[in-house]
Structure 1
Amino acid sequence: MAKVLCVLYDDPIGGHPASYPRDTIPTISGYPGGQTAPTPQGIDFTPGEMLGSVSGELGLRRFLEERGHTLVVTSDKEGPDSVFDRELPDADIVISQPFWPAYLTAERMERAANLKLVVTAGIGSDHTDLSAAIGKGVSVAEVTYSNSISVAEHVVMMILSLVRNYLPSNQVAREGGWAIADCSQRAYDVEGMQVGTVAAGRIGLAVLRRMHPFDVGLHYFDRHRLPAEVERELNLTFHGSVASMVGVCDVVTINCPLHPETENLFDERLIASMKRGAYIVNTARGKIVDRDAIVRALESGHLAGYAGDVWYPQPAPADHPWRTMPNHGMTPHTSGTTLSAQARYAAGTREILEAFFDGTPIREEYLIVDGGKLAGAGAHSYSAK
């Protein structure tokens, strides 16, 4: 029997919800391109419930315990005395989320003698040392596409929020004011702007499709060029490098995985090459940008705004400079963990576990590392460095 160690974020401050704003959520059966939504043999939760926090347990306890497995759920994940570190040595499976990642370093993996499978409940597996997983023959999987559209919607919201100066204007209203000039002095139309994405995979392409009706110019960089018919449909301009794209864009959204090639990609030099008054929206990973270079660019006015929900480390410390830098629209890492998304990534996590326990293949599109090498989505998105 297996021990499953699951790291989830804390329950709401007021406790696990007793009720919800909506009674139901839409049923999503598939995604653009033909991939179906998760199809586990069954679920033990009601879609729309809070599943991503500790009390939600991803809806897994009954399923696992009825099969004789042990489930340990915690939010305590940092330091040698954390529950995560104490429970890790004999864990067979580790599950965590990008929003509250259990950083599975090579050193931690070395101490996990029984570890066979690492699952990301959501998308993005950079909190796991993939090279170490390859070396130890540990499989890594994630619920690909489960919350991609959730993140894309968040990106569009943040673009509009920054360009239209929404958050400061909302604050004026909350404080009882009517300072129209103050609100409008940083507000622009998105119409006619040039918008570019770093990577045009599931999230990046979804952002491009959603921005197309706003009558903007659309640009993208990706290691894998999109089909010609998609470029024609959306009137996309392809760029052979990030550097060539960012210089022409008013808004840049970052949607690429974090790996050695993209860490600190947006450094002082690249940011300086952008238009004065450009905006950056980063819902990918915090380490793709240079933390302090972002602060300096906002303070100098070279960047007009920065928004995102990814930080490093996560959770971000109270004194993280992004909390107090000017003209930002930061949120905690929430873009991919809406109640709608939780239903899908919880179901996908169960689907992965069912396949693992039954000895049947895990979906190819869910695989990141398998059989000692990058596999599935991992072979497309990551580099073996």
Structure 2
Amino acid sequence: MAKVLCVLYDDPVNGYPSTYARNDLPHLDGYPGGQTLPAPSAVDFTPGHLLGSVSGELGLRRYLESQGHTLVVTSDKEGPGSAFDRELADADVVISQPFWPAYLTKERFARAPKLKLALTAGIGSDHVDLDAAIEHGVTVAEVTYCNSISVAEHVVMSILNLVRNFVPSHQIVLDGGWNIADAVARSYDVEGMHVGTVAAGRIGLAVLKRLAPFDMHLHYTDRHRLPESVERELGLTFHETTADMVPHCDVVTINAPLHPETEGLFDDDLIATMKRGTYLINTARARIADRDAVVRALESGQLAGYAGDVWFPQPAPADHPWRTMPHHGMTPHISGSSLSAQARYAAGTREILESFFAGTPIRDEYLIVEAGKLAGTGAHSYSTNS
């Protein structure tokens, strides 16, 4: 029997909810493009409930214990004395979320001789050292597409929030004021602006589709060019590289995975080539942007705004400069953890576990690393140092 170590974020400060704002979730027939929704044999949770926190347990306890497995759930993941490190030594499976990542470093792999599966409940496995996973023969999987639309919606919201200066305007109301001139002095329309996405996979393409009705000019760059029919339908302009694209854009949104080719991409040099007053949105991974370069660009006015929900490390320390830099719209890492998304990634997590324990193939689209090499979605989206 297996030991499953699950690292989830803390419960709400006022306790695990007993009621919810809505009674149900909308029905979805599938994902755009035809991929089917997660299909475990059953679920032991109520869709729309809080599953991603410690008490939610991703709805896994009844299933795992009925099969004779052990489930350990913790939010304590930092440092050598953490519960994560204490429990890791004899864990067969580690489950983590991108929103509260349990960083599986090379050193931690070395201390986990029984580990066979590193599973991301969500999308994005960069908190796992993929080279180390390959070296140790550990399978890495994630629930591809489960929260792509959730993140795309967050991107569109962030763009509108920044361009329309929503957060400072709302703060005026909270402060009891009516300072219209202060609110609109940084407020613009998105209509007619040029917006570009770095990567046009599931999230990037969904962003472009949602922005098309706003009558924006749409640009993208990706190492896999989209079909001509899609470019024509949306009126897309393709650019070979990020450096080629960003000087043309009023808004740039980052929707690429973190790997050696994208780490540190938005540095002082690249940001200097962007239009003065560009808005930069990053819901991908924090390390794609140079932390201090972003701060400098906002302070100088080179960037008009920066928004997103990804930080490094996560959770971000209280003194992280992105908390206090000007003209930002940062949130904790929430874009892909709506209650709607949680129902999908919890179901996908169980589907992957069922395949793993039964010795049957894990869906190709869920795979990142298998049999000592990049596989499935991992082979399409990631690169390694090896």
**TM-score bracket relative to the smaller structure:** over 0.9
- Structure 2 matches for 1:286-305, cutoff 5 A? 286-305=286-305
Could you give the per-residue CA deviations for residues 212-239 of structure 1, whole angstroms, max 9, x where no partner exists?
Answer: 0000000000000000000000000000
Partner amino acid, structure 1, of 2:218:
L
1:243 partnered with 2:247: no
Question: What is the Cα deviation at residue 175 of structure 1?
Answer: 1.2
Aligned to 1:255: 255
State, as a whole percentage, how many aligned pairs show the same letter.
Answer: 75
Separation of aligned partners in 2, 1:382 and 1:341: 23
Aligned to 1:285: 285
Separation of aligned partners in 2, 1:172 and 1:79: 41
Could you give the per-residue CA deviations for residues 59-116 of structure 1, whole angstroms, max 9, x where no partner exists?
Answer: 0000000000000000000001000000001000000000000000011001100000
- Structure 2 matches for 1:308-327, cutoff 5 A? 308-327=308-327
1:110 partnered with 2:110: yes
Partner amino acid, structure 2, of 1:184:
V
Question: What is the Cα deviation at residue 176 of structure 1?
Answer: 1.2
Separation of aligned partners in 2, 1:302 and 1:379: 36
Question: What is the Cα deviation at residue 384 of structure 1?
Answer: 2.7
Separation of aligned partners in 1, 2:29 and 2:128: 29
* Alpha-carbon RMSD: 0.5
Separation of aligned partners in 2, 1:291 and 1:120: 25
Is contact 2:260-2:384 (8 Å) kept?
no
Aligned to 2:85: 85
Could you give the per-residue CA deviations for residues 151-192 of structure 1, whole angstroms, max 9, x where no partner exists?
Answer: 000000000000000000001011111101000000000000
Aligned to 1:359: 359
Does the residue aligned with 1:247 lie in a helix, a strand or coil?
A: helix
Question: What is the Cα deviation at residue 33 of structure 1?
Answer: 1.0
Does the residue aligned with 2:150 lie in a helix, a strand or coil?
A: helix
Does the residue aligned with 2:107 lie in a helix, a strand or coil?
A: helix
Separation of aligned partners in 2, 1:204 and 1:110: 36
Is contact 2:164-2:189 (8 Å) kept?
yes
Partner amino acid, structure 1, of 2:115:
L
Separation of aligned partners in 1, 2:29 and 2:95: 24
Aligned to 2:267: 267
Aligned to 2:72: 72
Does the residue aligned with 1:237 lie in a helix, a strand or coil?
A: strand
Separation of aligned partners in 2, 1:360 and 1:33: 25
Does the residue aligned with 2:233 lie in a helix, a strand or coil?
A: helix
Question: What is the Cα deviation at residue 252 of structure 1?
Answer: 0.1
Does the residue aligned with 1:275 lie in a helix, a strand or coil?
A: coil
Question: What is the Cα deviation at residue 29 of structure 1?
Answer: 2.9
Separation of aligned partners in 1, 2:37 and 2:175: 43
Could you give the per-residue CA deviations for residues 254-285 of structure 1, whole angstroms, max 9, x where no partner exists?
Answer: 00000011000000000010000000000000
Aligned to 1:179: 179
Q: Tell me, which stretches of 5 or more residues in structure 2 are unaligned?
A: none
Aligned to 2:28: 28
Question: What is the Cα deviation at residue 27 of structure 1?
Answer: 2.0
Aligned to 2:384: 384
Separation of aligned partners in 1, 2:257 and 2:9: 22
The runs of at least 4 consecutive aligned structure 1 residues that moved more than 2 Å come to none
Separation of aligned partners in 1, 2:29 and 2:115: 32
Aligned to 1:125: 125
Q: Tell me, which stretches of 5 or more residues in structure 1 are unaligned?
A: none
Separation of aligned partners in 2, 1:296 and 1:358: 52
Aligned to 1:169: 169
Aligned to 1:222: 222
Aligned to 1:41: 41
* TM-score of the two chains, using structure 2 as the length reference: 0.99
- Structure 2 matches for 1:323-342, cutoff 5 A? 323-342=323-342
